[in-house]
Amino acid sequence: MDMMRGVIDPELGSNLVELGMARGAEVSDEGEIRIKIALTTSGCPLRAQIQRDVKARLESLPGVTKVRILWGELTAEEKAAAMAKARFNVAQQAPDTAIPPTTKVLMVASGKGGVGKSTVTTNLAAALAALSFKVGVMDADIWGYSVPRMLGVGGDLRSLEGRIVPITRSIGDGRLDVVSMGFLVDREDSALMWRGLMLNRAVQHFCEDVAWSDDLDYLLIDMPPGTGDVQMGLAKMLPRAEMIVVTTPAVAAQKVAARVVDMGRKNYLRIVGVIENMSALVTATGEQHAVFGSGGGDTLAAEVGAPLLGRIPLEAAVADGSDRGEPAVLGEGAAAAAFKAVAEALSSEHVPPVEMAGCSARMLDAAAAALDALDNAES
């Protein structure tokens, strides 16, 4: 049931527990989960979306062999209560955060620094934008922020009606909306002077006080390395987030990476998969050089029971692209192809965007009718 706090009804903007839609679960000795989910209307096209989210969350739990959803429908009264909750959230402006309920949130995490977490975040963000998605990038790696430089965006964050406005860059038909401490402190090394408490608050501001656009398909969060306070705070603030873990091919690095997965699981996040970065360098003649060893990605994926999403080779073009603010994925080469393949698999299979599929009008009508009914009943 706690996992269901991470599943958002995209239309009502709250999680299934808060809305009273998750009605209890049973787990058999064989690891089969039967969970009751009640919808506002049984014919809602968002059912497929909710089904995918519920299954993905529960199936990512260790020991779960099968997930069966027993569908039901909210009674008129329950529906009115759910609508009232949704309306309250709208009135409060922010459900729990300012991140739209229809945005898929992906945390990119790693056990330690220097494994290429920011490189992976920025290249995946650029690749998703190149696929025409609207992609937010939150640079939560407050101590070692490098996202602005890697994405070639800069300037000062503006505020509009008390909200921080992200800095935008268009890529093809897609768009990147970026927030980073890098836009707030003027020198890259002065972030080190900020104290832990303030840093925690900074990340909270990025969740609550940013004017994230309503049309964002994805929000990628570049997490600080490891499992400190900032990471814990973010995981608690965003139980709906899904986690991608970046690791290197060195098998010895897996213990620290596994700790991050542990932290995610304890906060009910879904682990989408593992990306192995700095995999074997491939020369022009096709020779492979496993500079940082091999097998780390597979080992970690097997250990945490999540798929290996891809292997990104060590390639000068990757470091060079990050230094120039032009992510390597926007060019050619083996690493670019590997990043593109991961972005395609994420958007088509592992974390597809929310399709609102014409449900809105009907739901809003239903909401209005339910509220009228409630008002009538009260009067």
Q: Using the rule CB under 6 A, which residue among 72, 114, 154, 196 binds ligand ADP? A: 114
In the chain, what is the straight-line distance between the N-terminal and C-terminal CA atoms, in Å?
Answer: 35
Window contacting ligand ADP (CB under 6 A); options: 37-45, 48-56, 229-237, 312-320: 312-320
Nearer to ligand ADP, 116 or 297 (CB): 116
- Give the span between the Cα atoms of 206 and 142, in whole angstroms: 11
Q: Which residue number, 144 or 233, has a Cβ lying nearer to ligand ADP?
A: 144
Beta bridge mates, 32:
66
Smallest distance, ligand ADP to C-beta of residue 108, A: 9
From residue 64 to residue 103, the character string flagging contacts with ligand ADP as x (rule: CB under 6 A) and all else as - is ----------------------------------------
Q: Which is nearer to ligand ADP, 18 or 222 (CB)?
A: 222
Could you give the CA distance from residue 128 to residue 109 in angstroms, rounded to a whole number? 18
CB of residue 285 vs ligand ADP: minimum separation in angstroms? 19
**Chain centroid, CA 173 distance in Å:** 21
Q: Does 152 bind ligand ADP (CB under 6 A)?
A: no
Is residue 116 a contact point for ligand ADP (CB under 6 A)? yes
Note whether 335 binds ligand ADP by CB under 6 A: yes
The single residue listed with the structure tokens 């990757």 is 318
Choose one: 2-10, 90-98, 115-123, 226-234; the region binding ligand ADP (CB under 6 A).
Answer: 115-123
Residues 206 to 265: which contact ligand ADP by CB under 6 A? 225
Among 57, 79, 104, 117, binds ligand ADP (CB under 6 A): 117
* Cα-based angle 105, 15, 87 (whole degrees, multiple of 5): 110
* 115: contact with ligand ADP by CB under 6 A: yes
- Give the strands of the sheet with 32-39, arranged side by side: 22-27, 32-39, 66-73
The residue (of 69 and 282) whose beta carbon lies closer to ligand ADP is 282
Closest separation in Å from C-beta 32 to ligand ADP: 38
Q: Which listed range, 18-26, 109-117, 206-214, 253-261, lies at the site for ligand ADP (CB under 6 A)?
A: 109-117
**Residue 134, CA distances (Å) to 130, 156, 163, 215, 308 in order:** 9, 21, 19, 7, 25
Instruction: Provide the minimum distance between the beta carbon of 148 and ligand ADP in the complex, in angstroms, as a whole number.
Output: 13
Per rule CB under 6 A, is residue 342 in the interface with ligand ADP?
no
In the complex with ligand ADP, the residue whose CB is nearer, 117 or 169, is 117
The dihedral sign for the CA sequence 335, 341, 345, 351: positive
DSSP E strands: which ranges in the chain? 22-27, 32-39, 66-73, 104-110, 134-139, 158-160, 163-165, 167-171, 174-180, 218-222, 242-247, 270-279, 281-282, 288-289, 308-313
Give the residue, chosen from 18, 53, 217, 315, that forms a contact with ligand ADP under the rule CB under 6 A: 315
> Which residue from 312, 336, 343, 351 is in contact with ligand ADP, where contact means CB under 6 A?
312
Q: Could you say whether residue 146 binds ligand ADP (CB under 6 A)?
A: yes
Residue choice 14, 49, 60, 119 for contact with ligand ADP (CB under 6 A): 119
* Cα 181 to Cα 210: distance, rounded to the nearest angstrom: 13
5 secondary structure, DSSP code: G
CB 219 within 8 Å of CB 104: yes
Whole-number Å distance between alpha carbons of 300 and 260? 11
Least Å distance, CB 321 to ligand ADP, is 8
Distance CA 8, CA 17 (A): 9
Work out whether 277 is an interface residue with ligand ADP (CB under 6 A): yes
Q: What residues numbered 177-206 form the site for ligand ADP, per CB under 6 A?
A: none
Q: Which helix (H) or strand (E) holds 125?
A: helix 117-130
* Footprint of ligand ADP (CB under 6 A): 110, 113-119, 144, 146, 225, 277-278, 312, 314-315, 318-319, 322, 335
